[in-house]
């Protein structure tokens, strides 16, 4: 393994710990990163909780979810979320799947999740909700194959976040850091919105603000500062 | 004591710590396990808070709640919850009794607790509420004898969870891990439901989804992952 | 100082730490205990946050709030809460004054705080609200002299808890442990009630249940178990 | 650097850690202090999260936001908040800018944030809301230059707190301790108000109480006690 890949996998492990420490994932949830040397492959932990993932747990998959590194570890049953989204969105390098408690209410009601604070703008203005029931009827709600993964990716479309009814959400980014930070601030934004709605007459960000705040949020200045802080907490 | 029993009791101690660490129990609450070598006996800590239970605290009782190991430790006053449920449900191996703060509101109002997320499906769709007042009038709400325990077990029926009005709940499982994880995700599910209800028009899991999600939740894959994570947090 | 007093003051210091650790007090709030050898005197820390109180901080006061041990430490400005309540209630040995966040809403609205869970029954059914404005007009809301303290004690009457509008509450007990545990479960009970009210049609404990649950809560079995646990957390 | 300045900067670093530990700031947010030897200069960390700021990170700026100490560190993009407020309010020595989650709802709805507890009175009765959109249209909501900073300072006027719509708030004080403690109790007060509003008919502090409680809150007795406690938590 070359140094670049080694550093990327180290970052993926840290991202697992950050997501757990910020309570974005609990015993479940996962984060992947595309192989920068082979865009048809991605890296993802074996079936283990993010809080305790270590370097030895990282597996490599093709976009269909087949292990390609000869590993005999047990993969996540829902790895198809990652492959299908990476397949449909070439510009995306990293995918977070999680069950943030403050986000789930917006997937099971008719109340749209919307940008309400500048640090949460990156979630976007039109956040789709994927209901697995629509095309697959009664299931265990898990994304268990590529057909379901592609259906999810289709609902995600060009958005940054897709809510999954009764389940959680998936968040994408052009890097591990972006996907992680967007998932962290998605949770924060949803918390603020849950607290604001009972007060009535909520003013959300305008379309122009959402765009400008997203650019700001993804600037090196902002990403580096937050990343330095969140990783310091788990070291 | 043979090695199998020793391992089981070690697991019971760990489950006490997990339940405390996840805030499912506070200074009160307890978890039992049936003796696999004598289905008429069960193991339960002496009267001590779960967070600080250790191996030496575990007592053995018959289903009527009599100490059978010659221990002179003081037993929990509510051990009858465990005996009566284990008596009425031969397939159940473990019982958790707790006062999860997010669960109690559903026992004191007319709002039914229902499955809203896939990881919480194991709580079941028709969750009974036991009101000790109905058959016993004014009491201290504790389950202090087998008559009350059997009344509770009767209300539980074939369900996985029984809410206890103004008190808490009891949760059953076919193993220590199952009972513990169900209690943990019952608390999470209730939190999500409390946050969702103010948004209105909540969509709950369908009956078919509830069944499939429960099977998934109790699969080895899921149980082992969560258990590894929750126990790592208390080590 | 004899051993009995020494042990009592050690317990008072631990109670300070427990109240801080359970978030019942923050930088403000305090707990006192009557001198068992002189019922006209009580012990209370000097003006320091409970989390960092140590044995050397404990002062002795007469019921009027005068330091009687020659200490030159700075006393709490609100020590009159303690003296006035101990003066009016000979059976009371310990007083906690705090600003529990979940309790304050019930002092500034017309929604009565009521027993809703068995472990919170000791707060009592008719919890008075003291509004310093009624008899003293605009103030800084602090209980700064015996006249105000006695007015507060008068409103408390024979209750276990008195809410203080826009300020917090005071809680009494027949021992340090009882006052501390009642303050801890007052906070928990208020949290449950805040979560239950939006669901509507809340069923509270009956008068008989409140009395029986209070007796249970103050039994040695219950007090000892909770005290062992809460003190283990701060050691 | 003389000893007085050295001590002040040490205090500024501690204040950064306190604000992070109390969750008033997360990866973003900052606190400044005016140079007591040159009222046209202020000290502020370079672009780093408060939780990990150390002495070497502190930079010195003129009120226009120009670095005056030859530092090559990267400054906060929003330092203009600090310069503009210090420029307009000669009596102010310290400014906190943060994104407290419980405060944001009051900046995006028509529900006014008002003093509800004595320890939160220092936030004042008429808390202005600055909406950057009013004079600058669509932006990334950040205060990126002196024109925006002066507009914010103008809305702040003589108040202690200014809410920033969709963004957070800025809090001022006559010392590092005052600004820090006001920011901490602003968050607490907002939390209490969010919990009280659903109960209806909230009674807020009177104007006279607000003034008297503010004086009390800013007394040495109160400031020193809270500061000793909050700094002990981060040591």
Q: How many CB atoms lie within 10 A of CB B28?
A: 19
DSSP summary character for residue A29? -
Sheet holding A58-62, edge to edge: A58-62, A38-45, A30-35, A94-98, A168-173, A161-164, A129-130
Kindly indicate the confidence band of residue A1, based on its pLDDT and cuts at 50, 70 and 90. confident
pLDDT of residue C1: 75
What lies within 8 Å, CB to CB, of D134 at 6+ separation is: none
DSSP state of B113: -
Helix axes C80-88, C146-156, angle to 10 degrees: 50
Contact partners for chain D, using 3 or more CB pairs closer than 8 A, are A, C
Among residues B11, B22, B78, B178, which one is catalytic?
Answer: B78
Mark yes or no for CB contact C26/D215 under 8 Å: no
pTM here is 0.98
**pLDDT recorded at residue B72:** 94
Give the 3-state secondary structure of C51-99: HHCCHHHEEEEECCCCECCCCCCCECCCCHHHHHHHHHCCCCCEEEEEC
Handedness of CA A132, A134, A135, A138 (dihedral sign): positive
Other Cβ atoms within 10 Å of D72 Cβ, number: 7
- The enclosing H or E element of A44 equals strand A38-45
Cβ within 8 Å, pair C99-D116 = no
Choose among B162, B107, B165: nearest CA to B132.
Answer: B165
Backbone angles phi, psi at D178, to 5 degrees: -65, -45
Query: Whole-angstrom Cα distance, residue B144 to residue A175?
Result: 58
Q: If you ran DSSP here, which 8-state letter would residue D229 be given? A: H
B206 with A138: Cβ contact below 8 A: yes
Contact between residue C160 and residue C173 where contact means Cβ atoms under 8 Å apart? yes
The order of strands in the sheet holding B161-164 is B58-62, B38-45, B30-35, B94-98, B168-173, B161-164, B129-130
Q: In B47-102, which residue ranges form alpha helices assigned H by DSSP?
A: 79-88
pLDDT beyond 90 at D162: yes
Per-residue pLDDT of C32-90, as tens digits, reads: 999 999 999 999 999 999 999 999 999 999 999 999 999 999 999 999 999 999 999 99
Check D11, D22, D60, D78 and give the catalytic one: D78
Q: How far is D28 from chain A (nearest CA, A)?
A: 7
pLDDT value at residue D129: 98
pLDDT level of residue D1 (50, 70, 90 thresholds): confident
Contacts of D226 in chain C (CB under 8 A): 27-28, 49
Q: Do D101 and A195 touch (CB under 8 A)?
A: yes
Residue-wise pLDDT tens digits, D33-62: 999 999 999 999 999 999 999 999 999 999
The one catalytic residue in A78, A147, A211, A228 is A78
CB-CB under 8 Å, B116 with A104: yes
Give the nearest partner residue to B138 out of C195, C209, C226, using CB atoms.
Answer: C209
Cα distance between residue A199 and residue D196, in whole Å: 11
A225 to chain D: which residues are within 8 Å by CB?
27-28, 47-49
Using CB atoms, pick whichever of B192, B203, B212 lies closest to residue A140.
B212
For each of the domains in chain B, give its residue range(s) and CATH number, in order of start: 3-234 (3.40.225.10)
Per-residue confidence band for D132, with pLDDT thresholds at 50, 70 and 90: very high
First-residue to last-residue Cα distance in chain B: 24
C-alpha angle A40/A43/A48, rounded to 5°? 145
Region B204-220: what's the mean pLDDT? 97
Q: Calculate what percentage of chain D has a pLDDT beyond 70.
A: 100
Average pLDDT over residues D91-111: 98
Question: Where do we find the tokens 């004591």?
Answer: B1
* ipTM computed for the complex: 0.97
Q: Is D78 a catalytic residue?
A: yes
Q: Look at the alpha carbons of B188, B193, B198, B204 in this order and tell me if their dihedral is positive or negative.
A: positive
User: Phi and psi at residue B206, in whole multiples of 5°?
Assistant: -75, 165
Helix (H) or strand (E) holding C230: helix C220-234
Q: Does residue B203 register a pLDDT over 90? A: yes
Q: Residue B207 has which token pair? A: 């009956």
Both tokens assigned to C226: 């909770």
Neighbour subunits, A (≥3 Cβ pairs < 8 A)? B, D
Close Cβ partners of C225 (under 8 Å, ≥ 6 residues apart):
B27, B28, B47, B48, B49
* Residues ≥6 apart with Cβ < 8 Å to D172: D85, D89, D92, D94, D95, D96, D156, D160, D161, D179, D182
What would the pLDDT profile of A153-195 be if each residue is shown by its tens digit?
Answer: 999 999 999 999 999 999 999 999 999 999 999 999 999 999 9
pLDDT averaged over every residue in chain B: 97
pLDDT value at residue C137: 98
Mean pLDDT, residues D2-9: 96
- A188-211 per-position pLDDT tens digit: 999 999 999 999 999 999 999 999
- Using the beta-carbon criterion (under 8 Å), do A111 and B204 form an inter-chain contact? no
- Burial class, D78, CB count within 10 angstroms (exposed 0-12 / middle 13-18 / buried 19+): buried
Instruction: Sort out which chain A residues have CB atoms less than 8 A from B202's CB and list them.
Output: 108-109
Residue ranges of the alpha helices (H) in A89-175?
105-108, 132-136, 146-156
| Rounded distance between C-alpha atoms, residue C164 and residue C143, angstroms | 10
| Chain C: residue whose CA lies nearest to B132 | C209
> In chain A, which residues have their Cβ closer than 8 Å to the Cβ of D137?
208
CA separation for the pair D92, D78 (Å, rounded): 18
For chain C, the straight-line distance linking the first and the last C-alpha, in angstroms and rounded, comes to: 24
- The token pair at C46 is 């000097």
Task: Express each pLDDT in A83-94 by its tens digit.
Answer: 999 999 999 999
Give the gap in angstroms from C-alpha A222 to the nearest C-alpha of chain D: 9
Residues of C tagged active-site: 78
C194 chain-D contacts, CB cut-off 8 A:
195, 198-199
User: Does D208 sit within 8 Å of C28, measured CB to CB?
Assistant: no
Quickly state the pLDDT bin for B106 (edges 50, 70, 90). very high
Distance from CA of D169 to the nearest CA of C (A): 22
For residue B101, pLDDT over 80 is answered with yes
- Taking contacts as CB-CB distances below 8 angstroms, the residues of chain A near D141 are 118, 205, 209, 212-213
pLDDT at C122 over 80: yes
User: Is the model's pLDDT at D166 over the cut of 90?
Assistant: yes
Burial group, residue A38, by CB count within 10 angstroms (0-12, 13-18, 19+): exposed
| Maximum Cα–Cα distance across chain C | 56
Contact C166 D192 (CB under 8 A): no
């Amino acid at each position: 393994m070359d140094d670049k890949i080694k550093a990327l996998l180290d970052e993926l492990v840290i991202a697992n710990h950050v997501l757990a420490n910020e309570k974005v994932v609990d015993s479940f949830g996962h984060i992947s990163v595309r192989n920068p040397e082979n865009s048809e492959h991605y890296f993802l932990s074996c079936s283990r909780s993010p809080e305790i993932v270590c370097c030895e747990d990282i597996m490599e998959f093709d976009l269909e979810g087949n292990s390609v590194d000869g590993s005999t570890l047990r993969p996540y049953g829902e790895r198809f979320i990652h492959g299908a989204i990476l397949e449909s969105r070439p510009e995306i390098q990293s995918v977070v799947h999680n069950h943030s408690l403050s986000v789930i209410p917006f997937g099971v009601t008719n109340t749209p999740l919307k940008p309400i604070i500048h640090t949460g703008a990156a979630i976007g203005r039109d956040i789709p909700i994927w209901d697995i029931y629509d095309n697959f009827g009664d299931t265990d709600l898990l994304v268990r194959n590529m057909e379901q993964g592609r259906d999810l990716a289709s609902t995600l479309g060009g958005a940054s976040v897709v809510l999954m009814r009764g389940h959680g959400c998936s968040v994408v980014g052009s890097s591990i850091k972006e996907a992680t930070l967007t998932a962290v601030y998605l949770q924060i934004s949803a918390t603020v919105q849950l607290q604001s709605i009972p007060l009535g007459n909520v003013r959300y960000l305008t379309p122009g603000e959402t765009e400008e705040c997203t650019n700001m949020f993804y600037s090196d200045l902002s990403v580096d500062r937050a990343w330095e802080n969140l990783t310091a907490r788990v070291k």
